Structure 1
């Protein structure tokens, strides 16, 4: 866990989404040192369901633990509102910390929480929201387990986002994530890329604490946003979009042509599902352990 804090102290960190153990391994293979498991990606891939906060704490922590086991990259997990009140939040934090997760993201939405894509989000009153963050901070056993506090107050105002972000940092959050899906009543996707970058720069400067941002605007990179002073830039769902887009193409060709040949003619296999993939997944280490065990029985 201390590794993620050290990475952040060395400078801003670009973090891709990863929805399962295989995607986490492949992200690490590409050179990323941390991955992010979003609630949307978990429910889509593991439940085949929309992002409606239907997963249980134990389902999510078990899945995150498998990702931790599969990769040395730091795993950051979205835990929505923490799965209940202060005592439940304490249990949640302890479970994810025990599983080896490096950081969790907890948000200030009221129950039932809503995915920002759906609209209709409501946030807790400030005092209650600060209490939720403080409960998460106080529950951790080690300060190397990081707490990211997200605010969904963008439907209220920019000033409210900034004030809440400051309060959450003062309550002990290591980083804050100001959502800007619908900032001051104007969808972020309707703003020009340069305007979005100006918004990020303004938020980072005015909040005055380590800030997490999502998805660099078109034409910009994570490094461009980090250069503004962001502590972390997460692209939470692009990997899920890449995977589902590939599967749509594959299944479409398979259904139409009766084989995968046409699909792979257009999309050559980057990692065949044979010994090549098994080696990426650590086959040599597994075989070596088997051989050592055989030797110990002689």
Structure 2
């Protein structure tokens, strides 16, 4: 029996949203975390650009990971898990023709929703200072190009605005309305600064014809609200992009500190998978089954 998951069928994410099933998507950026998250009770996974830039390049999320880095990682994850994948695509990695190329490349890679931003290029993480956005007309044109570029309506366009931090919530909500009018399937107002701001976003954008997504980054610029509360406020999806990064880095630091201090991992207080668990996580069951059938 093949132990590896089958990729999610096209349109799986759209179908969940149409059924009004609230979607919680943890952030993933490499295959161990993606496989673990895939086996949990989540409706989708979210490929975080911060995580890919940090884990793949050892660099900050400041527009330094390019299209090839991100599209290839998206392909690997999308084809290695059974849940729909939402994927960060920054500002589209260039001008309008690059956005068209990015949309088609992500769709071909098996991603089910692509996130595009209105920041100036190079962009920055949405929970850092000094982010600047392009003029509204330019931001809308990006979304119009993305909507026209996709092959199937099952491939969802997420339009993110970072206008809240520099230009205020009114401008961010106005941009969200414009993005929905331009054809975005999902609108993403980045880094609201209070629960009341989340309430306003839900109240003013929920009727604009697009689903709403919230970004939960504990210790970031926004308060962390529960999935249940976000649903009450009018949101349809929520991502937790840093949950694995924050947890994994803390666990790795603790495990290595214990080894450095004791000269052994025996008795370490840090939880660890044993080798059998790792074998099963990466799919050795499939190798063993193949060998039983074909090895001489």
TM-score above 0.5, yes or no: yes
Counterpart in 1 of 2:196? Answer: 198
1:293 is displaced (CA, Å) by 4.6
Q: Measured at CA, do residues 286 and 33 of structure 1 come closer, stay the same or move farther in structure 2, by a change above 3 Å? A: farther
For 1:180 and 1:33, the matched residues in 2 are separated by 23
For 1:32 and 1:58, the matched residues in 2 are separated by 27
Counterpart in 2 of 1:131? Answer: 141
> Over residues 106-153 of structure 1, what are the superposed CA-to-partner deviations in whole Å (9 max), with x where a residue is unaligned?
000112222234311111111110001111111110111111100011
Counterpart in 2 of 1:267? Answer: 270
Q: Which runs of 5+ in 1 are unaligned?
A: 182-187, 189-195
> Over residues 224-260 of structure 1, what are the superposed CA-to-partner deviations in whole Å (9 max), with x where a residue is unaligned?
2122221101111121100000001111111122122
Q: Answer 1 or 2: which has greater helix percent.
A: 1
Confirm or deny that 1:170 pairs with 2:181: yes
Tell whether the 8 Å contact from 1:108 to 1:129 is kept in structure 2 after alignment: yes
SS in 1 for 2:157: strand
Q: Which runs of 5+ in 2 are unaligned?
A: 1-9
Counterpart in 1 of 2:227? Answer: 222
Counterpart in 1 of 2:7? Answer: none
For 2:90 and 2:295, the matched residues in 1 are separated by 46
> Over residues 42-83 of structure 1, what are the superposed CA-to-partner deviations in whole Å (9 max), with x where a residue is unaligned?
111111111121111111111111111211111111110000
Tell whether the 8 Å contact from 1:17 to 1:37 is kept in structure 2 after alignment: yes
For 1:268 and 1:252, the matched residues in 2 are separated by 14
Confirm or deny that 1:24 pairs with 2:27: no
For 2:186 and 2:242, the matched residues in 1 are separated by 20
Tell whether the 8 Å contact from 1:38 to 1:236 is kept in structure 2 after alignment: yes
For 1:240 and 1:79, the matched residues in 2 are separated by 19
Counterpart in 1 of 2:4? Answer: none
Moved over 3 A (4+): 216-220, 289-295
Q: Measured at CA, do residues 248 and 288 of structure 1 come closer, stay the same or move farther in structure 2, by a change above 3 Å? A: same
TM-score (ref. length: structure 1): 0.87
* Aligned with 1:99 (options 109, 117, 131): 109
For 1:260 and 1:166, the matched residues in 2 are separated by 54
Confirm or deny that 1:161 pairs with 2:161: no
